[in-house]
Structure 1
Amino acid sequence: MIKQPGTAAVLRLRNLMESPAAPPPKDYVQYQHTDSCSLLRWTARESYEFMYARPWHEINDFYLDVVNGRQSLHQMFREENPQANDVEASDNFDKPEAESVPVKDRTGRWARATFKMLISYNGNSFDGWQKQPGLNTVQGLVERSLGKFVDEKKAQLLKEKKLPLEGCALVAGRTDKGVTALGQVCAFYTWRKDVKALDIEEALKSAAPGKIRVTSVSQVSRDFHPNFSAKWRHYFYIFPFNEEKTQQSGSKPFTFEVSRVNHLLRQLEGKLLSFRMFARDTKASRNIGPPTECFVFHARAAEAYLPSPKKDGVCSKVMCVELVANRFLRKMVRVLVATAIREAAAGAEEDALIKLMDATCRRATAPPAPPDGLCLVDVGYTEFDKRICIIP
């Protein structure tokens, strides 16, 4: 008697026959540059090691002081820029008055109240903005604090789905792990009539003292969206220098001039360009065309010193990079900073960054710089004005 194969064995055999063949492994090679600086340009590994071999703990400590109001970014430039105090005093000139006007009496879905929250947080204290299971994220902390203000209908819906009582916070830009924010803009809406801006502010302040600082909470128009309503984003990157002498690797120079980085970045100002070569982890549908185009209003680099002196009384020398654009792609600022430093060290031409945008592979640009140096300074909802800039 012939024994018939079992049902499980038949199903396994059928799945093996129907499953497509595994794709061949990809062959990753170094991008071959063809300009005159190709032999002087760092490899991806050399660039990564150069960027991460820095005293980043000093930058983290400085950003923590800035978040808690003990220091300011403008203090690094007060000696060179006597107008820094005037700029700092006018930081809020671009906040539209219409945003602080309560919504009018409406009915139905128009009756909801929308609140705009301006918060600061130290990136080294969180695992990024976006809420993720088992991680300490800013969004998770904010939404748990907003849970007490959700309306009854949503509270009942969350209870039926056995979900925690949390609010929904919209944000201007999702920061990665380690990235600090001084002017992150969030929004929260509810149909409850008894919720006041002061109540939300007190709830957020008690969520994580010393790690999150609430600058303001105001009721705004229902049409306000922290991301889609924004007209520009303002980022700042602090790159620390090592005290010891920079090592050489063969014939490649491992030093660069800040003025060279400044010249490279200034070529981007006032242009609408596709930064797809400077983006990382973006979907295939957003790799070509307008979704990758950004208009850069301001791009500068300058030397500065951290205002917090060391134990020996000497302030740390740093390079500051300031970027303002209508939008930024994923990890675009960090890749742009690392690539500008690499091109400056190689002695590339001033339009090197623009030429790299025509590359055929993202390996043409450097790996992202460490997130510890990046800071979201502000988000604007009116037309760009250079008075918001820190580096003239």
Structure 2
Amino acid sequence: MKRFAIEFAYDGTNFFGYQGQPSVRTVQGELENALERIFKVRIYTQAAGRTDAGVHAVGQVAAFNCPIERLTPVDIKNALNANLPADIYIKRAWEVSKDFNPRFAAKKRIYHYYISTKNKNIFLRNYMWHFPYKLNIQKMREGAIFLEGEHDFSSFQKGDDKKNPIRTIFKVRILEPKNGVILIRVEGISYLRRMVRNIVGTLIKVGLEHWSPEKVKEVLEARSREKAAGTAPPHGLYLYKVLF
């Protein structure tokens, strides 16, 4: 039996997150429903990561077994796009080894978070965090350096997350294009629940100059969610790319 991987994008606005759940609309649910329509049997998928409700993806990756040997990657891509809703799009498909699991095979996951400091654009309200306040980008960059490397990220995890808080962040970049949109790019191996959004919330405190850049190091070392800033809203966050 062949096994395929797919890279796909989705608009997370109308989903209750990625992971399949009963009685609510999820990305995994829609993907597996489409596969069932194609193959007439339930096909289960494994993804590189799970995104929360309202979070988007540009380059999510999932893998599944294909019960029809003659299908090619192009066939898989076209069949899925013909059966998926308009807010999910398959960008490419390729054949992988039978033991390929994108969750464990991923070497790097890159997230993008977009913040608009311009006048509010209601047509972008689901895709950027509108934050019309002056931010000191240089101080945010100085604070972000403390997050790079292997650390205990207990201060940046969701309160009920019981996973091992030791994570590795390769790089945090903060870019400010001329159109007034700030991009926070986080590159790491894996993440705790809401970790990127909590990092963004803390860097915003630094950008407002309510906290010094060194406060980020203090929050990190406190290993307490209560010491960090609030959580940035989900709609500015995108799973941008998964590297293997």
Is 1:214–2:90 an aligned residue pair? yes
User: 1:114 maps to which residue?
Assistant: 3
Would the aligned equivalents of 2:109 and 2:243 in 1 still touch at CA under 8 Å? yes
Would the aligned equivalents of 2:35 and 2:43 in 1 still touch at CA under 8 Å? yes
- 1:375, distance to aligned residue in structure 2 (A): 0.6
**Distance in 2 of aligned mates of 1:215 and 1:199:** 12
Is 1:123–2:2 an aligned residue pair? no
In the alignment, residue 326 of structure 1 is paired with which amino acid? I
Aligned partner of 1:263 among 130, 134, 142:
142
User: 1:233 maps to which residue?
Assistant: 109
Is 1:277–2:155 an aligned residue pair? yes
User: 1:295 maps to which residue?
Assistant: 168
**Distance in 1 of aligned mates of 2:16 and 2:80:** 18
- 1:149, distance to aligned residue in structure 2 (A): 5.7
Would the aligned equivalents of 1:141 and 1:207 in 2 still touch at CA under 8 Å? no
User: 2:75 maps to which residue?
Assistant: 199
Is 1:339–2:202 an aligned residue pair? yes
- 1:243, distance to aligned residue in structure 2 (A): 3.4
- 1:225, distance to aligned residue in structure 2 (A): 1.0
Alignment of 1:44-59 (within 5 A): none
User: 1:172 maps to which residue?
Assistant: 48
Would the aligned equivalents of 1:113 and 1:190 in 2 still touch at CA under 8 Å? yes
In the alignment, residue 297 of structure 1 is paired with which amino acid? F
SS in 2 for 1:202: helix
- 1:367, distance to aligned residue in structure 2 (A): 2.1
Would the aligned equivalents of 2:38 and 2:79 in 1 still touch at CA under 8 Å? no
In the alignment, residue 242 of structure 2 is paired with which amino acid? V
SS in 2 for 1:193: coil
User: 1:310 maps to which residue?
Assistant: none
- 1:343, distance to aligned residue in structure 2 (A): 2.9
TM-score normalised per structure 1: 0.55
SS in 2 for 1:358: helix
Q: Please tell me the root mean square deviation across aligned C-alpha atoms, in Å.
A: 2.2
**Distance in 2 of aligned mates of 1:204 and 1:189:** 14
User: 1:327 maps to which residue?
Assistant: 190
In the alignment, residue 184 of structure 2 is paired with which amino acid? V
SS in 2 for 1:267: helix
Residues 371 and 212 (structure 1 numbering): CA distance in 2 closer, same or farther, change over 3 Å? Answer: same
**Distance in 2 of aligned mates of 1:360 and 1:325:** 19
Task: Show CA shifts across 1:300-349 (max 9, x none).
Answer: 1122245xxxxxxxxxx221101101111110000000111113324533
Residues 360 and 222 (structure 1 numbering): CA distance in 2 closer, same or farther, change over 3 Å? Answer: closer
Residues 282 and 117 (structure 1 numbering): CA distance in 2 closer, same or farther, change over 3 Å? Answer: farther
In the alignment, residue 257 of structure 1 is paired with which amino acid? N
Runs of 4+ with >3 A deviation? 281-284, 346-349
Task: Show CA shifts across 1:186-232 (max 9, x none).
Answer: 00014543443333212220233531221111111123111100011
Alignment of 1:137-156 (within 5 A): 137-148=26-37
SS in 1 for 2:60: strand
In the alignment, residue 351 of structure 1 is paired with which amino acid? E
**Distance in 1 of aligned mates of 2:45 and 2:159:** 23
- 1:280, distance to aligned residue in structure 2 (A): 0.3
**Distance in 2 of aligned mates of 1:353 and 1:133:** 39
SS in 2 for 1:356: helix
- 1:234, distance to aligned residue in structure 2 (A): 0.4
User: 2:123 maps to which residue?
Assistant: none
Residues 292 and 341 (structure 1 numbering): CA distance in 2 closer, same or farther, change over 3 Å? Answer: same
Gaps of 5+ in 2: 121-132
TM-score normalised per structure 2: 0.86
Residues 233 and 220 (structure 1 numbering): CA distance in 2 closer, same or farther, change over 3 Å? Answer: same
In the alignment, residue 294 of structure 1 is paired with which amino acid? R
User: 1:132 maps to which residue?
Assistant: 21
SS in 1 for 2:167: strand
User: 2:129 maps to which residue?
Assistant: none
Task: Show CA shifts across 1:223-252 (max 9, x none).
Answer: 3111100011001000111539xxxxxxxx
- Structure (1/2) with the larger strand percentage: 2
How many residue pairs end up in the alignment? 232
Is 1:374–2:242 an aligned residue pair? no
**Distance in 2 of aligned mates of 1:149 and 1:128:** 23
**Distance in 1 of aligned mates of 2:172 and 2:154:** 18
In the alignment, residue 274 of structure 1 is paired with which amino acid? D
- 1:115, distance to aligned residue in structure 2 (A): 0.4
